[in-house]
Amino acid sequence: FSSLYSQIELNITQICLAKECSEDEIVEELLRLNEDPKVHGIYLHLPPASLTSRVLNTLKPEKDIDGISDLNMGRLVRGDLSKVFVPPRASAVLDLLEKHGEFLEKRNWISLYLISWAEDMDVPPTWFRPGAVVIRCEPTLATGIVEYIMINVVHSYSRWLQEQQYQPWHLRTLKLQPLMPVPSDIEISRAQKPKPVDQLAEQIGLLPEELEAYGRSKAKVQLSLLNRLHAQPDGKYVLVAGITPTPLGEGKSTVTIGLVQALSAHLKLNSFACLRQPSQGPTFGVKGGAAGGGYAQVIPMEEFNLHLTGDIHAITAANNLVAAAIDARILHESTQSDKALFSRLVPSVSGVRKFSPIQISRLRRLGINKTEPASLTPQEVHTFVRLDLDPSKITWQRVVDTNDRFLRKITVGQASTEKGLIRETGFDIAVASEIMAILALADSLEDMKNRLARMVVGTSRSGQPVTAEDLGVSGALAVLMKDAIKPTLMQTLEGTPVFVHAGPFANIAHGNSSVLADKLALKLVGRDGFVVTEAGFGADIGMEKFFNIKCRASGLRPNVVVLVATVRALKMHGGGPNVSAGTPLPKEYIDENVDLVAGGCYSNLRKQIQIAHLFGMPVVVALNVFRTDTQAEIDLVCQIAKECGASDAVPCYHWAQGGRGSIELAQAVNEAANTPSNFQFLYHLEMPIVEKIRVIAQKVYGAEDIELSPEAKAKIDYYNQQGYGSLPICMAKTHLSLSHMPDKKGAPTGFVLPIRDVRASIGAGFIYPLVGTMSTMPGLPTRPCFYDIDLDPVTEEITGLF
Amino acid sequence: FSSLYSQIELNITQICLAKECSEDEIVEELLRLNEDPKVHGIYLHLPPASLTSRVLNTLKPEKDIDGISDLNMGRLVRGDLSKVFVPPRASAVLDLLEKHGEFLEKRNWISLYLISWAEDMDVPPTWFRPGAVVIRCEPTLATGIVEYIMINVVHSYSRWLQEQQYQPWHLRTLKLQPLMPVPSDIEISRAQKPKPVDQLAEQIGLLPEELEAYGRSKAKVQLSLLNRLHAQPDGKYVLVAGITPTPLGEGKSTVTIGLVQALSAHLKLNSFACLRQPSQGPTFGVKGGAAGGGYAQVIPMEEFNLHLTGDIHAITAANNLVAAAIDARILHESTQSDKALFSRLVPSVSGVRKFSPIQISRLRRLGINKTEPASLTPQEVHTFVRLDLDPSKITWQRVVDTNDRFLRKITVGQASTEKGLIRETGFDIAVASEIMAILALADSLEDMKNRLARMVVGTSRSGQPVTAEDLGVSGALAVLMKDAIKPTLMQTLEGTPVFVHAGPFANIAHGNSSVLADKLALKLVGRDGFVVTEAGFGADIGMEKFFNIKCRASGLRPNVVVLVATVRALKMHGGGPNVSAGTPLPKEYIDENVDLVAGGCYSNLRKQIQIAHLFGMPVVVALNVFRTDTQAEIDLVCQIAKECGASDAVPCYHWAQGGRGSIELAQAVNEAANTPSNFQFLYHLEMPIVEKIRVIAQKVYGAEDIELSPEAKAKIDYYNQQGYGSLPICMAKTHLSLSHMPDKKGAPTGFVLPIRDVRASIGAGFIYPLVGTMSTMPGLPTRPCFYDIDLDPVTEEITGLF
């Protein structure tokens, strides 16, 4: 019998209550233990008088080791247990263990909590078998009782196991009663009271211990979920991309949100939207928030658009710690001898010098396999202490999450304390930090930590890359980012779940939300559910990077592409006049004009569908309908889209109607997801960098060829030499045209794509060629959004956010 | 009878459940309503079959309007209520109303929730009396029933009222088992499992709806608590200050934490510590964390030292939005005509131009009492649109929460897009932002918003101050800071409560934690409880500002000053050799030397006690004992301190023993708090600025006189002219000496204090004279703390924080 337990180690933590413990105190202790996920069972060893019904009722049945609460035994004296119960046959235990054998192998311990009133209980433990099961118990407990307890442990264990399994959803959606005319976004958001986030979490099968609430309406979800549900099959994976947009944006986020509202609230199919966290820059600048719009929004939208759970702030702090470390290191190296540097970097603590783990890692990369500081030769000390960063080759920029154009190009180090070590540098918007790209691509805490350590911040005077780990800062970065790696759970206006996680810039980085949010969501929705994720910019940029970079990093394979189009953008591609922010729309965009629409469909829309087909993906075109669109225009788009190879094409009315307005889209997506897709990457990683760039330029953008500047060529040679040649490519190109020329609409051909320069994000893991000049720091207009944003100090209501 | 209700408005929100509602759905709705603080009563109007025992058990008794759950009526048909109950006499209602009359006057509404199964229930409402009580009910309900319901409403109301009253604490402390030798701070912190923060909150009388959890171990507390407990008398208010410290710090935070651990966990007196949130700069720089140390810590210390609940990040975002707005505005004014600026600042939306509230506020300050944009004269347009900021007189700096010395002095605007508008400026550490000082001094959301609007960012070319409101950014700032204004609840190693809130720089600002945290804590501890708050730097700086600035802003009056001293610092003041960070302590500090100790006591300690006496405060000297202190040294300090006028002087051993080591201090503080104090400010606000500075210099620092530079004189004239003359003074002076000369230890006399310059924080509300050069941006050393900070990606354990 005892050998059955050879797999299990039973940890019993014993707390002795003082004899005068009050009922209140016992109850409080039990409440704490009930909620402690590390305690699998509680055995109450208390004087009979303390076993009140309140105490017994407090004990969670699933943690009740000897079934005392199940059986309503009341004030039974524990010593008599053996007289009351006939211990179940050992074969029952055998059955249970066999059933859960696989699990037991993976998690070979059970933790029991023994609450004892005997303060001096220090009898020697009873060992069933050394190293196997340990039960620490009183000698007065007969073997029968111990056996009985063991069986209950296994029962309790199997109940716990059950709890760990995938739970079917029992989602209660929120009812929407859309008004006409559609009120402002913040008014709509405020009018809908979100479910408490712990209720939402419970409805979609999250365990309480997997949730970390941040206030009432948002919570971080722990990555341990991936372990718990590792055997659960993934749901369907849907990517929302768009045609080449006007500068006003064509509503990919609202389509994404409308689609999950339709799937979950109307078709009763589990679904999750995975969205990017927006930068505060645009929220206070020109664009406004990014929580969707109209009746397709994430709520509360002000929480979504402001600090959320602090991830971008954590990125800013981490990014700027690297920057401070770079300049401070240059200063200290410039003023100290090798010996002084070494004695400060490896200080003597109580007479002993020791390398830190980060330093040992650097030594190894330098080929110095020593761990004893005193054993380094002077040359090795020199190599170790001097990063010898070339100030003109520092690629690391500082960041703020503010549209602060005056920080685009600055000179730092002008105080006399910096001893003349001035240099030119600049700030990017925080979401352009490589750390944001890493957050979006990492698939575990460990992976994130390794990527952070690998980040290259510049080059030494001898041409060697210098990393965050060389600066000694990589551990601190991981510490700063330890909470940011957990996706944030929120909900749509109809109470369906949303993950908000990461928001890398879509030009110099890959513009897609996080791998981890998608992975968690794919487990949660279940086999027949849907995860809808969005790629930034047009499909030529965001979707291409989604496939070639994000899917490569995650190993996930999508099932359907939803391609968002608007009559407005199609008219522009069909030859309509210029569209720009802040000026009224020309009348071509307000009156019916089927010719312009057709022109746009046969050029840009067709080309974007073809791009998706390059990757073997079925495409559903979602026409985001505006008030001014006519039925003839709508019908025409849907007809031509299908002609051009779309599996389906449907109009969507989510902005005015919520999920109800996107039911047709949801049905089309459901259908397309059930047809087999044939996903393939566009290029092999082993292809030379230049070839990878050429394939994207020709096949995706429609270019005739590419043309590399001398800088670009030199950089490619350098990256090849450093061993970065097999990284994927992340093109930094305008989103306003398929080409590099923002004013070339439709589907331009015959152009040569100029590659001005090539850069690398080694931690994130991609090479990014620059096509033209990319601004990584937006500016504020004359009247930024913030003019209208206000807070009522009495009601605490926010106005002016959109 | 009906006239009794003339004070109460009864809000009944009705929701109609569809007839096919499942038990699950009803229960879920009830769970939601149970927790909704705005719903005071729930009346279930459901078909008998739906009134299952599960439904009835779910309904919270205190929200149960007609007592259905109290009485276990089971499946009673509601129409029969009148047959079951004899309605109580009207006099009972009268009694209740009279008892709670005062409350009803203040909160003259009750909100009821009617859950009805009759979808078409739209009978006209029954009015008892227009404008008084409104009960919307079915015609089938007899008047007797309605009356009965009303009485139950009042009962329920009085129960709710009870809940709103002050709740005595039932704190369960955490047991400490200190080890010898004392392990590292992070090891001690990790070994103690904090209580879930909602348990802690409940134990100290917070209502669940007053708490916003951020993860499991920290939560923001809503300011509404101040309204709920406004009638509750404040507890005792204790300030922890210190003698002039060595550069290593003398442990004011650990004394503060040790003291509350002793008060709450050992003397069983309610107490709260109010601490400053530390900057991340020092955490990753030189000093390490600020959560206390040894067995007197706030836990989890890594949460305390890292992002906490994001307040400093919110300050950074708000501060830098102002900075971006300044430079962008200068750029736009430089490139646009008055007309173009006006048409952008007051854009035509659907053909209508309207001023925003922020703009109307600016117009009023300019003396233009118009609200119609078209009615402004060209001159008025010019005045309105042009802030005409003088780039050389911008006082607003950008901030980061990183020790980034290279940002001390920089040039911005060097990109070609900024059209040559380059200027010199700099970054401060985030906690030096005026917004941090405002957060610490504001006593409500409205007060904070007004202060943010008043902040002066620079001067126009014509010499007028330009404010955040002039930039149109003040509403957005309030929105960014709306959560930061709520104090964060955490706990000590012994499970006693701590507020962490605000951490303004102690030199250019006032260096004290927030007014709001102190106010909330003073209500929570109750009349006989203690709030222990800490002032930065030595008593000559932090304590002086606590009294003259913070107490003036809050209206609170302290009861006791605890003055922290160490044998180490006293030896330094007695003539011991130089103490500096990073070098070993000279042997005078390790071996017994009573002469040096006596010298320090009779100079610096005596002077600091006298300073507290200037304000009429009793002083308890807390000697923070180090391992190397001898009994003779300890006894000597205590003896001389009492000689010099301290009410008491005791050694403290909290670092090694936790609260148990500070019991003597707690007793001394309790005794001193019960002696009458005679608090007085050092100066009247109406005194001229120069006189206020002179009083501080002479009476507090011991200077002979002050000497103003020409710049300082000019600034004082300007501030007087602008009407800032009656603001309090916030001296920016070194903390390493009572004088302006860091190397003058003891109690220097006969010096003339030079005032190099004078600046003003108009939003925070003080004038700050600069004595010498103040660095507002620390630097990183050769081997910053971050070298040792690491994260185990599997266990998620952090190492290297201290």
10 Å CB burial of residue A1 (0-12, 13-18, 19+) is exposed
Other Cβ atoms less than 10 A from the Cβ of A226: the count is 16
Task: Give yes or no for residue B36 having a pLDDT over 80.
Answer: no
**Average per-residue pLDDT for chain A:** 85
Q: In degrees rounded to 5, what are phi and psi of residue B82?
A: -65, -25
3-state secondary structure (DSSP) of residue A304: helix
- Banded pLDDT at B59 (limits 50, 70, 90): confident
The ipTM assigned to this model is 0.85
In the prediction, which pLDDT does A766 show? Answer: 97
Q: Which of B199, B214, B783 sits opposite A344 (nearest CB)?
A: B783
B467 and B453 Cβ atoms separated by less than 8 Å: yes
3-state secondary structure (DSSP) of residue B155: helix
10 Å CB burial of residue A676 (0-12, 13-18, 19+) is exposed
Where is pLDDT greater, at B772 or B731? Answer: B731
Mutate which of A216, A406, A417 to test chain B, going by most B C-beta atoms within 10 A? A406
Residues near A52 by beta carbon (within 8 Å), at least 6 away in sequence? A23, A75
In the prediction, which pLDDT does A802 show? Answer: 79
pTM of the full predicted structure? 0.86
Contact A327 B794 (CB under 8 A): no
pLDDT tens per residue, range A702-737: 999 999 999 999 999 999 999 999 999 999 999 999
**Closest chain A residue to the Cα of B323, Cα to Cα:** A404
pLDDT tens per residue, range A732-755: 999 999 999 999 999 999 999 999
**Closest chain A residue to the Cα of B469, Cα to Cα:** A787
> Amino acid identity of B141?
L
A537 catalytic residue (yes or no)? yes
**Closest chain A residue to the Cα of B407, Cα to Cα:** A412
Q: Which of B28, B195, B788 sits opposite A172 (nearest CB)?
A: B28
Contact A786 B314 (CB under 8 A): no
Contact A407 B404 (CB under 8 A): no
In the prediction, which pLDDT does B61 show? Answer: 67
Partners of residue A220 in chain B, C-beta under 8 Å: 215
A383 catalytic residue (yes or no)? no
DSSP H or E run through A701: none
Q: Which of B173-182, B462-471, B750-759 has the lowest mean pLDDT?
A: B173-182
Tokens of B37: 């603080």
Beta pairing class for A423-425 and A348-349: unpaired
Closest CA to A487 of A793, A321, A272, A769: A272
Partners of residue B336 in chain A, C-beta under 8 Å: 782
Partners of residue B404 in chain A, C-beta under 8 Å: 320, 323-324, 327-328, 398
Q: Is the peptide bond before A373 cis (omega within 30 degrees of 0)?
A: no
A277/chain B closest Cα distance in angstroms: 16
**Closest chain A residue to the Cα of B25, Cα to Cα:** A172
Task: Give yes or no for residue A79 having a pLDDT over 70.
Answer: no
Partners of residue B783 in chain A, C-beta under 8 Å: 344-345, 347, 472
pLDDT tens per residue, range B16-27: 454 556 778 778
> Amino acid identity of A789?
I
Q: In degrees rounded to 5, what are phi and psi of residue A548?
A: -75, -25
B753 beta partners:
B706
| C-alpha–C-alpha distance, residues A53 and A19, integer Å | 19
DSSP A460: E
Other Cβ atoms less than 10 A from the Cβ of B534: the count is 25
In the prediction, which pLDDT does B43 show? Answer: 63
Tokens of A2: 């005892």
Q: Active-site residue numbers of B?
A: 252, 254, 276, 287, 506, 537, 626, 655
| C-alpha–C-alpha distance, residues A750 and A704, integer Å | 5
B323/chain A closest Cα distance in angstroms: 8
Contact A794 B284 (CB under 8 A): no
A173/chain B closest Cα distance in angstroms: 11
10 Å CB burial of residue B773 (0-12, 13-18, 19+) is exposed
| C-alpha–C-alpha distance, residues B784 and B781, integer Å | 5
Which domains, and CATH codes, for chain A?
Answer: 1-164 (no CATH), 185-308+491-674 (3.40.50.300), 312-396+435-481 (1.10.8.770), 689-770 (3.10.410.10)
Q: Which of A324, A782, A793 sits opposite B446 (nearest CB)?
A: A793
A706 and A692 Cβ atoms separated by less than 8 Å: no
Mutate which of A321, A401, A418, A481 to test chain B, going by most B C-beta atoms within 10 A? A321
Partners of residue A479 in chain B, C-beta under 8 Å: 302, 306, 789-791, 798, 801
| C-alpha–C-alpha distance, residues A639 and A607, integer Å | 16
Closest CA to A275 of A485, A536, A481, A527: A536
In the prediction, which pLDDT does B35 show? Answer: 76
Contact B310 A307 (CB under 8 A): yes
Closest CA to B237 of B528, B618, B515, B532: B532
Contact A786 B472 (CB under 8 A): yes
Task: Give yes or no for residue A405 having a pLDDT over 60.
Answer: yes
Q: Which of A358, A400, A791 sits opposite B320 (nearest CB)?
A: A400
In the prediction, which pLDDT does A772 show? Answer: 82
Partners of residue A782 in chain B, C-beta under 8 Å: 332, 336, 341, 344-345
- Banded pLDDT at B351 (limits 50, 70, 90): confident
pLDDT tens per residue, range B514-535: 999 999 999 999 999 999 999 9
Tokens of A132: 């196997």
A786/chain B closest Cα distance in angstroms: 5
Question: What mean pLDDT comes out for the span B444-464?
Answer: 96
Place of tokens 């658009």: A305
B9/chain A closest Cα distance in angstroms: 19
- Banded pLDDT at A577 (limits 50, 70, 90): very high
